[in-house]
Each structure stands twice: as structure tokens, then as C-alpha cells.
Amino acid sequence: MITEALVLSAFLFVLGTFGVLVRRNAIIMFLCIELQLNAVNLSFVAFSRIHGMDGQIFVFFVMTVAAAEAAVGLAIIISIFRHYETVNVNNFKLLRW
Amino acid sequence: MHASLAVILFQGGQAAPAAEGAAHFEPFYPWLIVLLPLLGFVINGVLALRHAVASADAVRAGGELDLDEGGRPSTHTLPSLVGPGVLLLAFAITLVNFSRMLGAHLEAPEVIRYWTWMATGTFSVDVALQLDQLSMIMMMIVTGVGFLIHVFSVGYMKDDPGYPRYFAYLNLFIFFMLVLVMGANYPLMFVGWEGVGLCSYLLIGFWFSDREKSDAGKKAFIVNRIGDLGFLVAMFYLYTTFGTLDFEPIFANAEAALIYGGGLVTAITLFFFLGAAGKSAQMPLYVWLPDAMAGPTPVSALIHAATMVTAGVYLVARSSVLFALSPIASATVAGVGVFTALFAATIALKQNDIKKVLAYSTVSQLGYMFVGVGVGAYSAGIFHLMTHAFFKALLFLGAGAVIHSMHVAYHSTHSHEDAQDMRNMGGLRKHMPITCATMWIATLAIAGIWPLAGFFSKDEIIWQVAAFGGAASAPYPALYTVFWLIALAAAMLTAFYMTRMMVMTFHGENRSGAEEEKALHEAPAVMWAPLAVLAVLSVVGGWLNVSEHLRETLLGLGPLTSGWLHEWLHPITQQAQHIQEVNLGVLAESAPMFGGGEVVWAVLSGLAAAAVVAASFRFVGAQKHVPAAQDVEPTGFAKVLYNKWYVDELYDRIIVQPILTMSRFCWKVIDAGIIDGIANGVGWTARGLGWAVSFLQTGTLNTYAFILTVGVLVILGVSIL
């Protein structure tokens, strides 16, 4: 049972990572990050079957942080969009040498 | 403050008991003698600082200084009283001590301890004053002649803007000089030794805005450093040998701890003599003294003729026990002295600057003093030191009066001729009769004309060399015979160049120019009065120490003269004389080679000196002198003498330039190249690395995410493996 859950979790995490690395759309990258977070959440829940409730409690923390992050991140993306009228991260290269 | 003074006073009264038998010697406030000049320094120093602040403010405000009725700043009134005043008081207290010592027949030195200066383990140095016959003579010269020179300075420096500063330095010098001669151990003497060097530097460069003059001050200071190294090394040797640096225990144990003629005592004394040669301007370190004439003329009289430069002679006389134990060192002292006496005398023959003549004359006379102490005639050396202080101070002060008058004369016509060049003088006798007369007395005294001071003092030294050369078991008798002949020759040269100086300055036609001649004047009373006092001393000063043989004849002037100084210094010199007698036997009664006793040679050398003075008076008087501006460069051997044997040039070539080259190498290659290169290289490397790595900052989010992921994978991979 736990093996299948961890395999699924690993698959989702890798999927999210590839999404962050290869996509240029800020919203998509954001969704991929959420995917990674939830992959981790899945592992936590799966491991809590062996190690007790700590993992499940931690999942709540992660979800809370993810919600806050979504709020702030979306706000930033909206203001970027208002400025550049695009959410393609290739256009945001101000912080460089 | 009051409490501490009271403690000092109390301890001063509680000195160690003097020798048994004679009346007890009770020192009379000896600390006051030292502290009075220091007090003068503080007062004058405060006035000097106030004057400096006031004139700086005046310059900033663009206005003039506030002047009182006399046309001088208010800060210039008090130094005239304080400067000579503290010296007069110190001289008076010295006289009281002297008269008490006269009545007490002090056998052992009176050492008065005040407090412990430093104590480390078994070694300790006290701040202690030593009152004995030798330091008493030195104290009287320093305070007495010093007072006269201070009085002269009141007139000489009257219009100088640095008047309070001048007296502050002069008082400070006297303070350090008294520490030097009164200190009861070598470290305290060294404090005075360095202090007078500092004051010498400050006063040579007194007019510091003139580059040449401040350079002369630096030269004096640096050349003296070489000698001071010798003094220090000698002290280290003494400490490792005796474990103390106090005079009394060292001299008491010297014969037991040191082998006669041994390597250790020879090293100690030779290093001491290196120090003495620096301070007293002997070969090869004499070069600073002629340049030191850049200072005000009374400074030359006080520091560079009468007191500081004789410190080396004092050091040798003070350490007479050590020097007597080393015949090699004593021969070196005498040899260096006699060659310096001759060498400096030859240079003086061709100098045109009146102060330069006197400077080389001083170097030459200091050479005589070293000859005296070098052949074990310590009292004769100190005797010449004393008479020289009288007549050379007189000569310098007289030269100061002449320069003052010449300066005013040239100033009145706005001429820029050299006021010190004798070629511009001539015929000053008419305008400055008192200066001329007193300077003639000093000239005859230094030339060794009977019965003036120099006759007795110089003759005794020359005679002692002769007697040493003829002594049965003297070391290197041939060498001392050569020394004796050189000393005689240098004495004749002295008679010549001094007469030449007097004739060029005071006789013949005036060469300063018709307009200038009208402004020439006799020095004011405040300046000629010290000259008169010194002239009297230059006459009678020699009568204090006339040898027994001379006193049996008419030369001794009957009851007027005595052998007092010799007997007075006997407690100081007896141990050294004892060492000499045990190891070398009694001195000869007749001169080597030619025979003849002391009286014969005194008459011969006196007559020869008189003949030289008379002959050179005619010879130089008959020469045609032209003002400096029209004079031609001398040629041949005269040119070599005029250029001082090119010693300065030689030193420049073999010492100064190599040091400069090496310094430049250290500066340009080692410091600027290597050390700065390392420091800057580190900075440049960091900057370059940062610049190269900054290209990783692409600004693309995906790149960062990719690197982050790869990094995490690498860390995971490593930790798993």
C-alpha cells in the first residue's frame, strides 16, 4: 500500500519539477509548485501510517503555507501582468549581471 | 605637589654620610639646581605657546600682533628675566655647594638618592644625583658660563619673533646638561646625554623655515645617533659585567672584575669613546659640528663650544678607572684626539665664515682635551675643558656681537651680503673696541700665550703627552712621541688661524661698503658685559692649575697661581692614576728625543706661539683682502682645505648615497612592489573572481530553478552514496 503511494508521490513531484523547469508561463510554474507541495503532502500522509500522526499535522502546516504563498504569489503575478501585459518569465530578466 | 616636594627635601637632607675625618659635607638643595632651569623651560614654554597662538590668530584675522610700548609682543618681556634669572639662582646654589665642599675635603662622592626610577629583578636604577669634585666643576661651568650666555642672548635675540621659544629651549638644554653631569649612574647620564642632543637639534634648527638650517639640525641629530649606539652597547657590557650601572660600585669593583688590558674593558671603553666621539665631534664623527653653526650664535657658544660638546671629555674623565684599565682604548682616545686636533686646525686655516673658523677651532681644542684624558692626565683634560669654556664662549659671543653689528649694517642698506663672512669685515676695531679687545684676549689665550688661560692648560696636555712618550714602561712610546709632535704642530696652526681670523675681522681696511660702515656699532652693554667677564676668566682661569715645576720659576707668577684644580680633582683621578702607576710606572721627567724638562718646553712652545701670532699678524695684515662678492675660488691645496678635505663629499659618496640607494630599493621594489603588490593582488583577485562569477546571474528564473534542482540532486546523490 505505502509503496504505491510513494511512487505516486514521486511521480507527481517529478512532474511538478519538470513543469517548473521547462514552462515559461508564470501561472503554470505556480501550479507546478503547488503540485510539488501536494506530492510532498501525499508522502507525509503515507508515512503517517507507520510513524504516527505527526505527518498529517504537518500536512496542515504545508497547506496553510501554500495558501499564503498562493495569495502573495498571485498578487505578484497580477501586478507583473499589469505592468508588462504578459506572464512569460522570459521577459523578467532585470535581476542579472 | 607640596607633599612630594617635602619628601624630596627630606630625603635630600638625609644623604649618606661623607668620609670620616674632615668636616661633613652638607649638600644645599642640589635638586633645586636641576629643577630651576626646568622651571624656566616651563614658564618660557608657556609664553612661547601663547605667543604662537596669538600670532596665528593675528595672521588669521589679517591684522597685526598687539605690541607693547617697546614695539614687542607682551610675551617677550618675561623671558628676559626668567631665562637668565633661573640660571643665576642655580649658579648661586652651586656656589654654596661648592664652598661647602671646599671646606669638607670630600673623599668619596656624595650620592643623593631620590626615588627608584626602574627596578627589574636584581637590577635597579635610581634617580640619584652625585655631587663630587668633578661634577661640581662641570656644574659651575654649565650654570656660570650658561648664565653669561643667557644674558648675552637677551641682547642678541632681542628682535627675534621666536624669543620666548629660544629661552625655553636654552633653559631645557641647561636642565639636561645638569642631569648629564650630576647623574649618579650611566642611565641617568644617558638621559641628559640624549636630552642635550635633542636641545642641540632644536636650537640648530631654531630658524626652521630655512631648509639648510633644519637640515643641519637633522645632521647633528643623526650623526650623534651613531655615537649614542656606542654609549648604549658600553652600558650593556657594564651591566652584564657588574649587574649595576651606578658609578660608585662599578669603579670600586672595576679592578677586581676586569683584567688590565683585557678584551672586555677595551670593548667597553672603545664603545664609550664612540659615544664621546659623536657628542664631542671627534673624527670620524666631527662633521656635524661645523654645520651646527646654523643655529643662533649664543647657542654655538653655549652648546657647541662650552658645554655639550665637552660631555664626551666628561664621560671619559668620569669613567677614568675603566679607561686607565685599557691602554689600547686610551691610546685610541689620545690618537683620535691628536689627529682631530691637527685635521680640524688645517681646515680652519682656509675658512672664511667667522663661525666656521671657530667651529673647527672647537673641534681641534676638543681633540686636545681627548689627548689629555687619553694619556691619563684626567685633571689636565678637565682643566682645558674649563679654560676652553671661558675663551671659546668669549670668542663665539664676540663673533655674535660682530655678526649682530654686520647684520644691522647690511639690513640698513637692504644688502644681501653674508654678515658672517670675514672677507666682508675688516677694520671693525674702530667700531667695536670692546669686542675687539676681549676677543684678542681670548685669541691670545687659545693660542697659548703666557700668562693667559690657554697657555697653562694646553701646555700641560702637550707636556703630559711628551712625558708619557718618554716614560720607562709606557705602551707604544714611539706612537706617543708622534702624538706629541702633532700636538705641537696643531698648537702652532691654532695660533695662525686665530690671528688670521682676528686680523681679517678687526684690522685693515673696512670691506663692508661705505654706506654699511656707518651703521656698524659696538654691542649694547647687555652683550659686552658677559664678554668682559669671560675675558677676565680667560686671563685668570689658567692660574688655578699650574704645575709644580712651572711654579718654581717666574712662569708660575708666584703666589697668584696654584695647582689647586689638580689637587681638587685628586679624589676622582687617584684610582686611575694608581692603576696607571702600577702598570706603566712613573711618567718621565723629560721630553722624548730632545730631552729637556717641562719648563724648557713650556718656554719654547710659548715663545713659538707668540712668534707665530706676531708673524701671522704681519703676514695676514699684508695680504690683500677683497669682499666675498669679488673673491676668486682658491686653487691647489688651499682649495682642498677650503673644501674641508672633501670629507662631507666622501661621506656623501660612501655612506649617504648607498643608504639612499638602498632605501629607494626598499621603497620602490620591496615596499611598493612586493608588499603593496600582495595587498593589492588580493583585492584584484577577489574583484576578478566576482566579475567572472557574476555571469552566472542570468536573471532567468528557470536557470536558477534548474541549478537548484541539480544541486539538490547532487547533494542527495552524495549523501546516499
Q: What is the pLDDT of residues B316-329, one digit of tens each?
A: 999 999 998 988 89
| Distance from C-alpha of B326 to C-alpha of B251, rounded to nearest angstrom | 14
DSSP characters over B96-137: HHHHHHHHHT--S-EEEEEEEEEEETTEEEEEEEEESHHHHH
Q: Name every residue in A having a CB less than 8 A away from some CB of B.
A: 17, 20-22, 24, 29, 89-90, 92-97
Whole-number average pLDDT of chain A: 90
The mean pLDDT of B134-138, rounded to a whole number, is: 91
pLDDT tops 90 at residue A74: yes
Q: Any chain A CB within 8 A of the CB of B701? A: yes
Average pLDDT, chain B: 86
Instruction: Give the pLDDT band of residue B23 (cuts 50, 70, 90).
Output: low
Contact A92 B701 (CB under 8 A): yes
CB atoms B699 and A20 under 8 Å: no
pLDDT at A37 over 90: yes
| A2-89 carries CATH number 3.40.50.300 | no
Residue B703 binned pLDDT confidence (cut-offs 50, 70, 90) = confident
* Alpha-carbon separation of residue B650 from B222, B357, B647, B658, B664 (angstroms): 17, 21, 5, 12, 20
Closest residue on chain A to B704 (Cα): A21
Range with the poorest average pLDDT among A38-42, B401-405, B477-481? B477-481
Quick check: A90 and B706 CB within 8 A? no
Q: Where are the domains of chain A?
A: 2-89
Closest CA to B289 of B277, B273, B298: B277
Residue B207: CB atoms within 10 A of its CB come to 15
Q: Shortest Cα distance from A54 to chain B (angstroms)?
A: 24
ipTM: 0.86
Q: Kindly state the average pLDDT of the residues B194-212.
A: 91
Task: Calculate helix-pair angle for B477-506, B598-622, nearest 10 degrees.
Answer: 40
pLDDT value of residue A97:
64
**Residue among B698, B702, B709 minimizing CB distance to A96:** B698
Nearest CA in chain A to B693: A97
Task: Using the predicted structure, report yes or no on whether residue B16 has a pLDDT greater than 60.
Answer: no
HSE toward the beta carbon, residue B648, CA cutoff 13 A:
13
Do the chains contact at B709 and A89, CB–CB below 8 Å?
no
CA nearest A15: which of A2, A33, A30?
Answer: A33
Cβ contact B701–A96 (<8 Å): no
CA of A31 to nearest chain B CA: how many angstroms apart?
A: 15
Interface test with A, best of B694, B696, B701, B712 (most A CBs within 10 A): B701
Put simply, the answer to whether A89 touches B695 (Cβ < 8 Å) is no
Q: Which of A22, A24, A97 sits opposite B697 (nearest CB)?
A: A97
Name residues whose C-beta falls within 8 Å of residue B470's C-beta, 6 or more positions apart in sequence: B477, B481, B587, B588, B590, B591, B592
Cβ–Cβ below 8 Å for B697 and A93: no
pLDDT tens-digit readout, B296-343: 999 999 988 888 999 999 999 999 999 989 888 988 999 999 999 999
Tens of pLDDT, residues B608-651: 889 999 998 888 888 888 887 777 788 788 888 888 888 888 88
Closest Cβ–Cβ partner in A21, A89, A97 for B695: A97
Is residue B344 within 8 Å of residue B367, measured between CB atoms? Answer: yes
Residue B694, chain A, CB below 8 Å: the answer is: yes
pLDDT in tens, B84-94: 999 999 999 99
Q: Supply the DSSP symbol for B594.
A: T
Residue pair B545/B456 in contact (Cβ under 8 Å)? The answer is yes
Instruction: Assess contact for B181 and B158: CB atoms under 8 A.
Output: no
The gap from C-alpha B249 to its chain's centroid, in whole angstroms, comes to 28
pLDDT category at B523 given cuts 50, 70, 90 is confident
Q: How far apart are CA B114 and CA B118, in angstroms?
A: 12
The number of angstroms, rounded, from the C-alpha of A64 to the middle of its chain's C-alpha atoms is: 13
Q: Which pLDDT band, with edges at 50, 70 and 90, does B536 fall under? A: very high
Q: Output the pLDDT for position B585.
A: 73
Quick check: B700 and A20 CB within 8 A? no
Q: 10 Å Cβ neighbour count for B437? A: 16
Q: Which of B523, B499, B521, B354 is nearest to B424 (CA)?
A: B354
| Cβ-based burial of B520 (10 A; exposed 0-12, middle 13-18, buried ≥19) | buried
Rg of the Cα atoms in chain B: 31
- Whether the per-residue pLDDT at B678 is higher than 90: the answer is yes
Question: What stretches of chain A show up as alpha helix (H) in DSSP?
Answer: 2-22, 26-51, 54-84
The string of pLDDT tens digits covering residues B92-109 is: 999 999 998 888 878 888
**Interchain proximity A24–B702, CB inside 8 Å:** yes
Q: Is the pLDDT of residue A40 over 90?
A: yes
Distance CA(B593)–CA(B469), nearest Å, equals 9
Q: What is the pTM of this model?
A: 0.80
Question: How confident is the model over B549-592, as pLDDT tens digits?
Answer: 787 787 777 777 788 888 888 888 888 888 888 887 777 676 67
B513 pLDDT band (50/70/90 cuts)? confident
Give the model confidence (pLDDT) of B24-83 as tens digits: 788 888 899 999 999 999 999 999 998 888 888 888 887 777 676 666 777 788 888 888
> Which set of grid coordinates corresponds to residue A28?
503554470
Residues of B in contact with A89 (CB under 8 A): 700-702
Confidence of residue B4 (pLDDT cuts 50, 70, 90): very low
Distance from CA of A29 to the nearest CA of B (A): 10
Q: What is the pLDDT of residues B587-620, one digit of tens each?
A: 767 667 677 777 888 888 888 889 999 998 888 8
Q: Which residues of B touch A90 (CB under 8 A)?
A: 700
Q: What is the largest CA-CA distance in chain B?
A: 121
- Contact list in B for residue A25 (CB cut-off 8 A) is none
Residue B230 pLDDT more than 60?
yes
pLDDT of B3 strictly over 70? no
CB proximity list for B106: less than 8 A, separation 6 or greater: B18, B19, B22, B25, B132, B133, B571
| pLDDT (0 to 100) of residue B576 | 87
